[in-house]
Structure formats: C-alpha cells, structure tokens
Structure 1
C-alpha cells in the first residue's frame, strides 16, 4: 500500500514543482513587459483597430491551460481595467461548454487542474464590471459540421475525387491560416515561456476532461490506447520468421513459404503505415480547417465586432451571419449561468433572456456594471428562481434597453479583449482587418 502511495505521490510532486517553476519563470519574464503602457508587446497578443468602429481589439493567442497564457490574459485585462480602457471580454467558448460538467467540483481541483485562460478572462471581466461574451459557435453546431466534412472527405477519397478535396482543403487552410505579416507573431507558439508551460497543459487538458466528464475521458483513453495496426503487422511478420534477422539464412530455409508470407505482411504493413500517416491529413484536414477553425472564426469575429459596435452605440444592418443575432454573456456571480442577449434584424422586436437566480431570473454581478443594468430591465417582473425567463419589451421601453447595452454614438476609448486559441488568431485577425464579417 505504501509503495502505491509513493508511486502516486512522485508524479504529483513533479507536477507541483513544474507548475511552480513555470509560474516563477513567467512572472520574471513578463514583469518588464506589463510595467510599460504597451500592453500588446508580447508576441502572443495582437493589437488591431476594428475598421468600422475604430475600437481597439486585443487578440490573446493562448495555449489552453498554459500558465503563461493564463498570466498574459490576467495581466492584460488588469492593465486595461485599471486604466479604465477595458470595454468587454470575448471568450472562445459557448454556453453549452461553459455550463457543462459537474456543479460540485472542489475548489482545489478547479485551481490546480481546471484553471485556464478562459476563467482568467472571465474573472477579470467580472472584476471590472464589463460584459464577458461567450463568443464561440455552439458545440452542438460545430460537431455535426465537423462530422459532415469528415464524411464528405471520406467519400471524395474513396471515389478518387481528389480535385475537389484538395481545392476545398487549400481554400479552408488559406482562410484559417492567412499569411502572418509579423514574423515575431508567427513564432508565438515557439516562445520558450509557452513551451515551458506545455507539460502543464498536457497534464491539465486530460485532467480537465476527466473531471468534467469521466465517460468522455474513458472513450478518449480507449481510442488512444488502441494498438497501431501497422505495428501489429510488423510484429506478426517478425514472429513468423522466428525473430531471425539473418536474411540469407531465412531465405535458404524458406521451404514452407513462411518467409514469403512474412515478407508480404511486412510490405502490407509498410503500405498501411504510409496510408495511415499521410491519409489522415486529407481525411481530417478539411473537417479541421473548415468546421473547427474557419467557420468558428467567422462567429468569433462577428461577436468581437458586435462588442465594438456596442461600445460606440452603432447597429449593424447587414452581415455575413444572416440569422438573428444571439449573444451570450457570463452571469458573473453564478459560475454555471449566463445572460442571453438576442437582437433581431432591423425593424423587428428585440428581447432579453436571462438564466439564473434573482428577481426576474437575471443574475446580478458582484461589481454591478453591465449585468446590473441588464438586471434592472427585469426589476418589475415576477420572481422565477432557477428558471429561464423571457420578457419582451414594448416600444416605450426601447430607449432604456438600448442604453443598457450601448453607450452614446461616437468613438470609444474602450478596448475589447478576445481570449482565443492560437490556431484562431490569424484567421480572426484577417476577418477583422478586412471587415469580412460586415
């Protein structure tokens, strides 16, 4: 029993030591950066001006669960918040993922294994009373789209429709990864501080899956532990020749055709290895670049632009996304709640939907700010605790509602911080700079 405990304690001790070393290194490395007014000097952070509104946008390119990414997010939000420049925080997540998982996870597990850059952005936004937008596409839309692209890629491969597959893959790749003008930004993932925290990410990511969904973790572990077929064929071929690697001796003694059969298996295993190695990219590439990156980039960029428009008090009359807008915000005090803001196309009525506790069903933020103003819209409603409440406003309350979600028209000195994975930054940046979501 003591040996088992010792075997378990050693990895945990090494993990704690690595985590402490990473935090110390990140603190020392980032201190001179964040003590200057130029908060976007880091190669992982891209600063740009949204062209239609003139609002500054900071894209934080993060490696999920990486301590350095967490610290960058925290300090950028704090820097802007302390100087009164923080207008909104947009997170690369959606309400389905945001509210998933068990509700009674001990705080120590959250801090050690579930701490990530999204939580850092949420905590910073709530602390300064600004809206925290859940700006990603719903996962129950993304996964079916990825499955559709995967099936289409498989059909194109088996029907030898390579031209269509390569054309779609090249287009999606160019949209997801446009050329990077700044060579320093292009090497952001190779930053030694990011690489130093990579082992922590590799530990936290599966640990987070296990804590949130043990069943999903078991399926994921089963897939990863499945033996490679090519390796099995190679081992079987070696066993058939008795483990001998003397070619002359093996050929001379091949009276029953064992060596020929083993050689055939070995050749097939090599072909299989080549197909598996190089076949995964065309099979999964279009699904990854189009469904998991390009399409989500459009949604993320659209929500970022919406926050910019909210800050300057403008409304969009048309856009790349044709459906009525639905923007979801973190509830602030309730870790499993969100506030839903629905804006319909022009000349149609608008509505606010809140999920959580309190009068009218809305959740009040600790620091007041945006969510407190949203709550005031429901102050005359009935008390429906822990239920979804939809309340439509009449024309007389329309000016009050607009005042709750926007400021006076004109330029704004506020900035929008978007916390994204590194894979999304280049595509989202290109969409924003080109005004492609308008």
Structure 2
C-alpha cells in the first residue's frame, strides 16, 4: 500500500499505479493465506493490528485518485456558515465570501473557477453525509484540508472491522474472515487515503443488518434509513433484512428518511435532489455506457430493463428464501448482482460489497471490487472504458460463478458420502 499511495495521481502514474494496485492485491492474497497459520485465539488482534497499520500508511499522503473530498470540505464549510448545502452551487455569487485560494485558486478567483467537481451543480450528497461533513468541519483545526476527512474515514474503516469481528465471533465463525475487509487494498485506499464518505454508509449498513439478524426490526430500520441517507447504495441490503416484521422495519426506515430530509425540504423544496438526476443520466445508467455485459447480447435500450428484471428476480428470491438469522448472505447476493450487471466505474462504491463478502465468507466477491479499478483508470491508461468494463467485470463474474459451482459441487459430494457407521464388536460378550 505504501507504493500505491505514494506513486502519484492516475494521470501521472498511469500504468505504474495499476501495477502497484495489482501487487497490492497479490500481497493481500498472500497475507490472507499466511493468516491461516495464526492461532484462532490470536487472529482478531492480528487482523485489527494489521488494519491499523494499513490505515496509518494510507494517511501519509493526501487523496491520490479522487477529488470528491473537495466537495465534502465545501459542503461542510457552507453548512457551518448557516446555509443549506442544497441551496446554491459552489460557483454561485452568494457563496463568494466562503472561497479560499485552496478550493478557488487565486489566478481565477474572479471567474470563480474551482477545484471542486461539478461546480455549477448543487450537491448530490444526502443529509446524513452532509451531517458528517459539517461535523468533521466543526472538529477540524482552522486551515486543515483533507487530513480530518481522511482520519474520519480511517476510523470508520476500523469501526467496520470491529463490527465484523464481533459479528463473526457471536456467530461462532472464524475471526480471520474480517481480514477480507480490513486488509483489502480497496478498503484501505478508498477510506484512509481517498476519504470517501461511502464507508460511513458501510458502517450503518452492517450495523443495520446485525440488528435485523437479532430481530430488532425497528432499530434495524432506523439504522438502515441512516445508511441510505449517506449514499443510496446501502438500500441494496434492505431486501435481505425484511424477513422478520417487514412492515415495522420499512416504516422505521421511511420515518428516518423523512426526519433527516424534512429540514432541507422546508429550506429548499425539491432542491434536495441536488445533482442526483443529472448524475444518473451523466453516468449512463439509462443504457449508454453501463450494463456492459448485458449489452453484449441486448440493445442499449433493453439492457437497463433486463438488468432491472434480473435484479428484481434476485431480490424476490432473497426476500422469500433468505435466512433471517444471516441477512448478510442475501444482501451480498443482491448487492453483488447489481454491481456485476451495472459495472460501476468507481471503486469506492464496492466498499459495501467487500464488507458483505467478509461477513458471508465469500472471498470470490472481492474480485468484483478489484474489477472497478481498470474501469476507473481506463481514461488515464488510454483504454476504451466500455471494453474495459466488459472484460474486467466479465472476468470477475466468472470468478464468482466458478467459486459458486465449486461450492455446490463440494456440498453435493459431501452429501453423497454415507456417514461413518458405528463400529460393532465381533467378540462374544463376557459375563459381568
């Protein structure tokens, strides 16, 4: 990970960055193999200690492959000034007094050019993410930049590790599985280094599933509602959590979403949607540049419809047949299917999948997370994004299917082997 965070930004590092990531993933697999030789009673400490070291390494450099944190800083600053974050775009003259040379360089302050992405669009981030931004802003010393956000993301990453260790232990499972999340290069790079707020959604999604597994449906709905109000993607885990008292859970979730949105709706009305509709169009989820695997056999217009139908079928299966005591298994299936079909180009979206893979003890799904890096870096590498999406996610899908087939085959083989018969003595009984 040291090489990954020090090698530079994608447009400069190019193939060196993808090579460093490949080496990091290879080292990750070797470390997971070596962890098998650690005694089980000591495994939790080793997993957590390794996670702390990796997060510390990632904190040694500012964010390397994203500029999302700049919007986080700006939204926190706007809220601290008493302004609703959904009211104005960053370049709006009403916010001119909040500009500084870091986000708005001196040479173009008059024209309001800025380092913030989508500067003419209102923020896309939901209310709980916004609360996190202003909380970090309030706790940050004056003049700090990305560091506090990185530290907060690192702490969230470690909190997920602790949650996984506790859930695995309470289920009587091997704590080594937590390393699947804690030591994953994607986890470390996108939390402590790139400071993506998605990790807060992972904390809440895992917590909500844990509450659902304990049949605390009301609280599970509240926590899952908060997760969806960080980023929309944690909503993918909800179908797996509704087997026990679904009405209570869904009402609690809906009530939570209403509560966190109401202040902003009262302030700006429909402006709370921000850039979300434009983002979905820009990212091609209508069929233009996503759903690459389905578009191998379907027209562009039909691909998102087919993807939605497949996802609906998987969701229905999880709702009807999922194990309420282990909702993360169903959540992994729904979330993984959605990501394979849609082929998102942003690795930090896959943080949730890696956490679910650790809980479900399904390491093959980490391949789907790794697949996002070639797609994300394709423009910097001069590669065709759609073709890259096709082979990267296609290869990951093959890994998942092969592992699933091997698991089914092993289960059938085990079932076909007759249980050992008790040994009987052939000697004559003796008198007592």
Question: In terms of Rg, which structure is larger?
Answer: 1
After TM superposition, the score normalised by the length of structure 1 is: 0.26
If asked which structure has higher relative contact order (CA below 8 Å, sep 6+), I would say 1
Q: Which has the higher strand share?
A: 1
TM-score, normalization by structure 2: 0.26
